[in-house]
């Protein structure tokens, strides 16, 4: 048997697209509305109390963290009214590389939080696996500091889940599906605040 005979047949682009769409739909249907409501309430409390929101993740989740912070900080801004105090901990390359090089990548978020985090602030942890050591350390530190925590997770939540005050969790461990739906969740939350704060078009 040659190499080409030993490989499974590739699906057509059409059948692959259909399969992908069906799997995304299943993940989308898994979003728990009660969990989404709790997440919105947690962030609403941070807004009302003028607390800081720190958002973090690795890889694709790092880009979602940046997107989330931008949508909360800029996308919900209307005129001179009070705004969300949101920032991503994934964006300072010099600081991230310094911490990683000098201490270790597992400390890259907690070392930033040591400088910035205050009681009743909110940390948002985005993860496809729920088992990243740097996120687990950040969640543990947040709890010890008296901050609140929200997870947007895949793979059933992993080791992060029991450390959190609220979470929106998917069961899938397929990163492509999970990261796509995490962006939907981020937009769900931010679009809610855009509408409630009176941003035109929402």
The pLDDT, as a whole number, for residue 5 is 60
The pLDDT, as a whole number, for residue 1 is 46
**Measured in whole angstroms, how far is the alpha carbon of residue 85 from the centre of its chain?**
16
Tens of each residue's pLDDT in the chain, 202 residues? 455 566 778 889 999 999 999 999 999 999 999 999 999 999 999 999 999 999 999 999 999 999 999 999 999 998 878 899 999 999 999 999 999 999 999 999 999 999 999 999 999 999 999 999 999 999 999 999 999 999 999 999 999 999 999 999 999 999 999 999 999 999 999 999 999 999 988 8
Strand partners of residue 168: 152
The pLDDT, as a whole number, for residue 201 is 87
The pLDDT, as a whole number, for residue 2 is 56
Q: Domains of the chain, with CATH numbers?
A: 34-196 (3.40.50.10490)
List the one residue out of 139, 130, 163 whose CA is nearest residue 54.
Answer: 139
On whether the pTM is more than 0.75, the answer is: yes
Q: How many CB atoms lie within 10 A of CB 106?
A: 16
Q: For residues 95 and 10, what is the distance between their CA atoms, to the nearest angstrom?
A: 44
Q: Nearest 5 degrees, angle CA 31-CA 169-CA 179?
A: 85
Q: For residues 37 and 33, what is the distance between their CA atoms, to the nearest angstrom?
A: 6
Phi, psi at residue 169, to the nearest 5°? -125, 135
Q: For residues 47 and 85, what is the distance between their CA atoms, to the nearest angstrom?
A: 7
């Amino acid at each position: 048997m040659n190499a080409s005979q030993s490989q499974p047949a590739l699906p057509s682009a059409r059948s692959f697209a259909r399969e992908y769409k069906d799997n995304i739909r299943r993940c989308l249907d898994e979003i728990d509305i009660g969990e989404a409501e709790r997440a919105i309430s947690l962030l609403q409390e941070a807004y009302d109390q003028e607390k800081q929101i720190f958002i973090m993740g690795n890889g694709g989740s790092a880009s979602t963290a940046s997107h989330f912070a931008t949508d909360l900080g800029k996308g919900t801004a209307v005129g001179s009214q009070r705004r969300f105090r949101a920032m991503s901990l994934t964006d300072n390359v010099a600081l991230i590389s310094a911490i990683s090089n000098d201490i270790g990548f597992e400390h890259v978020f907690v070392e930033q939080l040591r400088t910035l985090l205050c009681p009743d602030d909110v940390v948002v942890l985005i993860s496809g696996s729920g088992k990243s050591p740097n996120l687990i350390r950040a969640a543990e530190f947040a709890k010890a500091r008296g901050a609140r925590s929200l997870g947007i997770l895949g793979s059933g939540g992993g080791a992060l889940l029991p450390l959190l005050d609220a979470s929106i969790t998917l069961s899938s461990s397929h990163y492509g599906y999970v990261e796509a739906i995490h962006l939907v969740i981020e937009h769900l939350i931010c679009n809610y605040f855009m509408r409630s704060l009176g941003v035109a078009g929402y």
